A and B are shown apart, each in its own frame.
Chain A
Amino acid sequence: MDPSTSRPAVVIDNGTGYTKMGFAGNVEPSFMVPTVVAVNESFINQGGRRLIKRSSSWLAQHNAGVMADLDLYIGEEAMSKSSTHNLKYPIKQGQVENWDAMEHFWQHCIFNYLQCDPEDHYFCLTESPLTLPESREYTGEIMFETFNVPGLYIAVKSVLALAAGCNASKREMTGVVVDVGDGATHVVPVAEGYVIGSSIKSIPVAGKDVTLFIQQLMRERGEQISPEDSFEVARKVKETYCYTSSDIVKEFNKHDNEPSKYIKQWKGIKPKTGAPFSCDIGYERFLGPEIFFNPEIYNSDYKTPLPALIDKCIQSAPIDTRRALYKNIVLSGGSTMFKDFQRRLQRDVKKIVNARVRASYARSNREVKAHPVEVNVVSHPIQSYAVWFGGSVLASTPEFYTACRTKAEYEEYGASICRTNPVFKGMY
């Protein structure tokens, strides 16, 4: 009996902002770290300057490279070393851009954080919808060649998010997954476990844009925050204080009338001087999440609000799946954790759908009355790592090991086997 199938699989969900990693069968990820690598490039620069004697400079460069590899940090440690090291973000907008950094990142994840031997565990990684097949090939190559894993399954994030669904006994495999992450937002319809690829929609507004918008608003108001720290402060403000409002004009009035209840204080320490500072947080609390519902307040090129996009996506799906899709709109991703996000989204989508039903009723001269369409936006407390949880659930079923691509297959056929993902059969 293959020893690696008796050990739990390793599930790593790489996102633009955060990476969630852990072992299958667990309820929550063991580690949730920012997807960032800090390299010390001063070594490499030192070596490069001596170009006179070529042979000694090669050795110096090689040593510099080795030293640079040893002096690498990922995650929270990397953020704290931002003054001495260069920060690299390997994943942009859901796609891996810097494979070198990604390999280092995985190396540290496996050996430093999870502290397991990759040869002993099957791996379940995740990918964004609409990833290039070449990307999957590179991933497969890195996993099989560098880490020598016995088996690999690259899952689509949306299907995992659906599998994580709130109902443990009956898992609905039909629904629309609204995945709002740090770098990209995707609306993906899934019917009976199959992703309807032609209906996938995405918008260029995501968690990072909310942070940038909040940073901009605070800067316009002249809050006393040191410029190098302002992005981090904006991010923490977003995660702690932001909420979704039902109507921005009414919210402005509420803020004006009861400042003590709505205006919060943020206290921090300046990184360079160590002096404490405090600033006020007011209307950016609700204007931040508002950019999902009115993107033009942040980005003048893009106008479609998220509820309209979800509706467009479902309308482009096959007609017999539409009611089921409306009934199961699942939220996933850290940026859906804003308070009341689910209620606002449900209200707005319902409004669009009801308007359409009314219009068609009027057009048919009030003869054909359709059943009202039930719109349900599902949210649950584990939204920020729902994808990881789905992976954990999937990787703890026995069918997982048969669905994986094994090392033997890789050696026989090459990296191109990773281009396709077998549909997972035993989920029901």
Chain B
Amino acid sequence: MSKSIGQATTDIIDEAITFFRANVFFKNFDIQSPADKLLIYLTFYINVALKRLEGCRTLAEGTKAVINLGLEDVPVPGESGFPFPGLFPLPGSQQEAELLRNYLKQIREETSGRLLSVAYRHNGTPNKWWLAFAKRKFINTIAL
């Protein structure tokens, strides 16, 4: 079961990172609000980002890999690359789709930044307790 959103001092990105290592094992989630859906999307994104960080031995390499990930196309709900068809309602117009795309791009960038600070230790070497989860596949079926 995934956890729903809580206090105001930590935001949803912090929550996604804190709960990632637990949530990545689960395949069924109890979705009570749109925040839960965003949490699932972020969990998936963190998994993707970790896979990119797999070969990088230093913080500099990792940062480069994550920047490259940020430059790639961001699919929105309705497009073929979006990982969870049916989870989010489709955007109403082209403007809404672009707004959503920008929002997703920003949140992905912010998440990657904070992820780097936990995935790498202070001296720049990879933290194996996080990078082990690059091998985990967050496959999911969602029970609404």
Which residues of A come within 8 Å of B, CB atoms? 217, 220-222, 248-249, 252-253, 255-256, 282-283, 287, 294, 296-297, 300, 303
Contact = CB atoms under 8 A, between A and B. Distances in A.
B3 A249 contact: yes
A339 B25 CA distance: 23
Given A249-B3, A249-B19, A252-B22, A222 B132 contact: yes
Interface in B1-48: 3, 18-19, 21-22, 25-28
A253 to B, nearest CB: 7
Given A252-B21, A252-B22, A282 B27 contact: no
Nearest to B18: A249
Identify which of B132, B136, B139 gathers the most chain A CB atoms within 10 Å of its CB.
Answer: B132
Interface SS of chain A: helix
A282 B129 contact: yes
Nearest to B19: A249
Given A296-B26, A300-B27, A303-B28, A253 B128 contact: no
A283 B129 contact: yes
Given A249-B3, A249-B19, A252-B21, A294 B132 contact: no
A300 B18 CA distance: 23
Interface in B111-144: 128-129, 132-133, 135-136, 139
B26 A297 contact: yes
Interface of B: 3, 18-19, 21-22, 25-28, 128-129, 132-133, 135-136, 139
Contacts of B21: 252, 283
Given A220-B135, A296-B26, A300-B139, 8 more contacts: A222-B132, A249-B3, A249-B18, A252-B18, A252-B21, A283-B129, A296-B27, A303-B28
B132 A297 contact: no
B128 A221 contact: yes
Contacts of A249: 3, 18-19, 22
A252 B27 CA distance: 19
Given A249-B3, A252-B22, A220 B132 contact: yes
Contacts of A282: 129
A217 B21 CA distance: 12
A222 B128 contact: yes
Contact of A248 (B22, B28, B128): B22
Contacts of B26: 294, 296-297
Contacts of B3: 249
A253 B133 CA distance: 16
A256 B129 CA distance: 9
